[in-house]
Homo-oligomer: A and B are copies of this chain.
Amino acid sequence: MATTGNLRFGVIGAGRIGKIHAENLATCIPSTEVVTIADVNVESAQDLATRLRVSSAVDDYHAILSDSSIDAVAICSSTDTHAKIIIEAAQAGKHIFCEKPIDFDLAIIDAALEAVEKAGVKLQIGFNRRFDSNFRKARMMIEEGKIGTPHIIRITSRDPAPPSLSYVKASGGMFFDMTIHDFDMARYLSGSEVDEVYTAAGVMVDPGIGEADDVDTAVILLRFANGAIGTIDNSRKAVYGYDQRVEVFGSAGMVQAQNNMPDSDVYYSADGVYSAKPLYFFLERYMESFIAEMKEFARSVQQNTTPPVVGMDGRIPVLMGIAAKKSYLENRPVKLSEIK
């Protein structure tokens, strides 16, 4: 029995990000509830369900799709299943929140977006950083004209430690796994598309990453359609913690979104002045944004409005990743129009 007015969710995938979304939907957002949790590892689903007092846990997500009391799904399974589940969920009439990336293949993404369009359901992609207070306020200042015309946009995104090599191998590579958030941020902050990218990258953190045919350090230069120039700099390992900053410089000013710290203490000693390192990783740094994106998704379904991050917002960063990788391999600027 549904509590009147609550949006009823099935959560597909009970891994790291599935746990976050399930908990937020179950406990932090008053207008949503979780009805069923699915995971191929049914024990994970069951453990999570018990902890969140969710009544049903299954191993096959089709049980969610065929449950007519469920309004929406949160797709948190492995990337290679995203597009397939989107298509099935759309056909089942479920609204869809899907983790990024939709897929690494543009044709597969297009098929998924087409299914969504045809079914007329909502689709929101999990680019949570748009909902972070720092970046959102920076974007607002830009929209309000406080920095004037953007000239130079800098995005810094460095992880505290590299993932396991097995993760690296399955991730699609740094450009698709990590930089994809920064590609989205570039579009979000600038309010413009990127025309051309040029990538300088290398293996500086772990030779194993190179052996896995990936890079761990990169600087990507972006040329925006509106004339601005951007840079993204990535590293798989910042010893001081998760480094998540942006800077937008324009004709009327500059806004910097700096790192968030776990406390505001400053210690003065005979050796120097010390303060805290940035919040360690994305769970700590972006917890509020995970809640906020889901609230916005629920609202767009409940009020029948366009979600804040639509299907094309999921497709374009993948295209940018393909272009960035091509630029890296060929050591030349690559236009996005060259891809496909």
State the A residues within 8 Å of B (CB). 27-28, 30, 51, 133-134, 137-138, 141, 146, 148-149, 151-152, 154, 158, 198, 200-202, 204-205, 217-219, 221, 223, 227, 229-231, 233, 235, 237-240, 243, 249, 251-260, 262-270, 272-277, 331-333
Contacts and interface: CB of A to CB of B under 8 A. Distances in A.
A276 B223 CA distance: 31
Given A146-B269, A151-B217, A273-B277, A252 B264 contact: no
Instruction: For the complex of A and B, list the 6 residue pairs with the smallest distance between their C-beta atoms, beginning with the closest.
Output: A240-B268, A253-B269, A258-B264, A239-B270, A254-B268, A133-B263
A51 B31 CA distance: 10
A149 B240 CA distance: 15
Contacts of A239: 148, 251-253, 269-270
- How many copies are assembled? 4
A265 B217 contact: no
Contacts of A256: 265-268
Nearest to A270: B239
Contacts of A137: 263, 265
B253 A268 contact: yes
A240 B270 contact: yes
Given A240-B270, A268-B240, A202 B227 contact: yes
